[in-house]
Structure 1
Amino acid sequence: MTEGTTIRDGRWRGRHAGKDALRQRVWRTLDEQGYAVGSPYSAIPDFVGADQAALQLAALPFWASAQVVKCNPDRGQAWVRLQALKEGKRVYTPVPELTAEFPFIHLDPAALTAAGIPFEDVMYSEGALAHGERVEFEQMAPMDICAVGCVAVSPSGGRTGKGAGFADLEMGIFRELGLLRPGVPVVTTVHEAQLVEDAEIVMQPHDTPLDWIITPERCIETRSPYPRPGQLDWDAVQPDQFAAIPFLSALRARLSP
């Protein structure tokens, strides 16, 4: 198999055959219909209208009162991070694929302004890594909104990412540390083409459902029937996740009694 084929099929394929096929279909649709910005394959895709989706999210009542926003680092949600900073909200964004020795970047709009750094310079992960504050999970403040990246979503709050399990792993740790409290909205921004039928997404016990799905055209409150998982089940973490994420074993040692 060539590298190009691997990327187009999905770097993390093999955990769930049904989700693998669904991701590939959505990626292909975004690509062939011209809805993707850049290549969507093996990624949380950037999409046409991502800026408008961020504005739709920012118009919702719970956004106005939020002071701390956790947002995935992908380019499709860069506008969510930018909008939050413009409104004076603190942003936590993970290191892409959690590959560094530290898991998260803290973007404080007051500190950035004092340092003369435009918010546009940190809306993408490269700038966030260069100018943000590196933090451990235990140093983070509880979040008011949890924004996650998705490849496919369903109206009842089903979601699937790119297949590596990063988002659900993060959210399990957040719940264990009290950072993702009951009632905090879990949201995503996507293109309309990423919406699929409820039956097409199988939700597993560790999967966190969405409360809101935001597209450039509308806001969907899912009123999801799926239960939120509890704290992270460390025994369910995959060996390749421990191998690929440098800080994970140390974090488990710190949190385990």
Structure 2
Amino acid sequence: MTDVELAKEAVRDKVWRRLLGEGVVPPDSYGKIPGFYGAEATAERVAELDFWQRASTVKANPDWAQLPVRVRALEDGKRLYMAVPKMAGLQPFYLLDPATIAVSVEEAATKKGAARFARRVGVEDMRPIDLVVCGCVAVNRSGARIGKGAGYSDLEVALLIEAGLVTGETVIVAPVHALQVLDEDIPETGHDFSVDYIVTPDEVIACADRRRPSGIVWNDLTAEKIAAIPILAVQQERRGRTTGTG
């Protein structure tokens, strides 16, 4: 691990232990995007905000922690994209359209429900995204965030930025427990994005220090990572043909 990766891992460990010690997450939450008690109240608070009410297309993480927000998006008639686990395949997103869902929104919004009932799409078939709902282990008040360490959220957002689907108009929000919000600095690299708003069951925090990559930071990816994610392998091949380096 690099020094930055080690520093991030230390932050994750501290926050996971804090959440478990206070009993605000299930006992198996270490190592995961924590599905905290109070997530439903947080989703309701998100739904009260202007940027939510304006949004017609939402992209959300597939983690259990974001399930109440995904359910609320479908209840409110919003088109919902969820990432396929590990961005598997050349169509790495699920599309859930509330106008065509044949089961309850509570079932459709789960990982298993999306796999059964959603249509898989590639970026070429997606609409511009108004709102990204981002899972976090930790986030600070300037908007810097840390996930669980796999890097998929950063790759998903970078891919959508390159495709012109996440733009300067897109809002990124992190629904979290108050204990996940830190006052300290969080280490970042070039591929990390920040969030525009943090929402807890009791508070809405506007983050002024917006940071987003211009797209995929290829130098940060190993050959093994690229090979494991088909859409990245295709993108790299196209990039090589364009630049003459492939």
Instruction: State if a TM-score over 0.5 links the two structures.
Output: yes
Q: Is contact 1:13-1:163 (8 Å) kept?
A: no
Which of these residues, 176, 190, 197, is aligned with residue 212 of structure 1? 197
Which of these residues, 188, 201, 209, is aligned with residue 174 of structure 2? 188
Which of these residues, 58, 62, 65, is aligned with residue 51 of structure 2? 62
Task: Render the CA deviation track for 1:156-206: whole Å, top value 9, x for unaligned.
Answer: 10101011111111111111110001131111111111111232x012222
Say yes or no: does 1:230 pair with 2:217.
no
- Structure 1's unaligned 5+ residue stretches are 1-11
Which residue is equivalent to 1:118?
Answer: 104
1:43-82 correspondence runs (5 A): 43-82=32-71
Say yes or no: does 1:98 pair with 2:87.
yes
Which of these residues, 185, 188, 199, is aligned with residue 203 of structure 1? 188
- Letter in structure 2 aligned against 1:65: R
- Give the drift of 1:14: 8.5
TM-score calculated relative to the size of structure 1: 0.88
SS of match in other structure, 1:102: coil
Which residue is equivalent to 1:170?
Answer: 156
TM-score calculated relative to the size of structure 2: 0.91
- Letter in structure 2 aligned against 1:168: D
Which of these residues, 2, 5, 27, is aligned with residue 16 of structure 1? 5
Which of these residues, 9, 23, 30, is aligned with residue 34 of structure 1? 23
Q: Is contact 1:158-1:198 (8 Å) kept?
A: no
- CA-atom RMSD in angstroms: 1.9
Task: Render the CA deviation track for 1:126-177: whole Å, top value 9, x for unaligned.
Answer: 1111100111122111100011110000001010101111111111111111
- Letter in structure 2 aligned against 1:150: C
Aligned length: 241
Q: Cα gap change, 1:38/1:134 in structure 2, threshold over 3 Å: closer, same or farther?
A: farther
Q: Cα gap change, 1:216/1:72 in structure 2, threshold over 3 Å: closer, same or farther?
A: same
Which residue is equivalent to 1:156?
Answer: 142
SS of match in other structure, 2:77: coil
Distance in 2 separating the partners of 1:214 and 1:80: 11
Distance in 2 separating the partners of 1:166 and 1:136: 16
Indicate the percent of aligned positions where both proteins have the same amino acid: 38
Distance in 1 separating the partners of 2:3 and 2:66: 26
Task: Render the CA deviation track for 1:26-63: whole Å, top value 9, x for unaligned.
Answer: 11111221111352122111110011111111100111
- Structure 2's unaligned 5+ residue stretches are none
